[in-house]
Amino acid sequence: MNSVGNRLDTTDGTTIGTNLSNLGTLEIGDSPGQLSVTGSYQQSVDGILEIEIGGTTPVSEHDFLSVMGLARLAGTLEVSLIDGFVPEIGDNFGFLMSDVGFAGMFNTLNLPDLGDGKEWLLNPGGSTLFLEVRSALEADVDGDGDVDGQDFLLIQRNDPSLIPAWELEYGTTSPPVASQAVPEPSVAVLLLWGVSALGYCRVSARVHLAS
Ligand SMILES: [Ca+2]
Ligand SMILES: [Ca+2]
């Protein structure tokens, strides 16, 4: 148990042979390093997990927390870049692994500025929680950090609604205005959900009438 306001510093390769409940600040390793928890990891809303990133290799270049039990998340993820490292588009950093899985999510992400054209994405896929660096350019649909003819071909084929964004961002490697989120796809997903829910209602109504 790491209590509110307390800082728990672990040296490299430390194993905690029980459940770890973090209500304070958890720092992993001696600069980049690894902490293994054989039980579960629970972080409260007051808890802070500090992750240092100095490269893409876990443990030797960025902090890595390995949990054998459930990782129940809340509170703050605090990331800092070390050793002058500048993340590039496509870089990803798996910093938290759980053999069982995850519950909850961090309430606050304190992530370092990546500069123009790049943004962070927290990817909770599978057994490892990744931080990824992706292009902040809306029309950079192939995700290589620029907006060019390749992107246009893909946009023309798959999503013509991005053509105005492509015209605005063409030839740039950093956008005039960083576009954080694209609202249209989520609206489309909501609409699809609505349509399928409607279809389901109709089917069940028919079943009732028939019986
Ligand atoms: Ca560290
Ligand atoms: Ca591109």
Instruction: Write out pLDDT tens, residues 6-37.
Output: 889 888 889 999 999 999 999 999 899 999 99
Residue 144, pLDDT score: 86
Which value, in Å, is the radius of gyration of the alpha carbons in the chain?
22
Residue 149, pLDDT score: 96
- φ, ψ for residue 198 (rounded to 5)? -60, -45
How remote is the CA of residue 174 from the centroid of ligand 2, in Å? 11
Q: Other CB atoms closer than 10 Å to residue 142's CB: what's the count? A: 15
How remote is the CA of residue 133 from the centroid of ligand 2, in Å? 14
Residue 174, pLDDT score: 53
How remote is the CA of residue 88 from the centroid of ligand 1, in Å? 21
**For the chain, which residues make up each domain, given as ranges?**
1-135, 136-180, 187-211
Q: Which ligand sits nearest to residue 14's alpha carbon? A: 1
The parts of the chain modelled with pLDDT lower than 70 are: 174-211
DSSP assignment string, 122-147: EE--TTEEEEEEEE--TT-TT-SSS-
How remote is the CA of residue 145 from the centroid of ligand 2, in Å? 5
How remote is the CA of residue 172 from the centroid of ligand 2, in Å? 10
Q: Which ligand sits nearest to residue 166's alpha carbon? A: 2
Tokens of 4: 């509110």
Residue 145, pLDDT score: 83
Residue 104, pLDDT score: 95
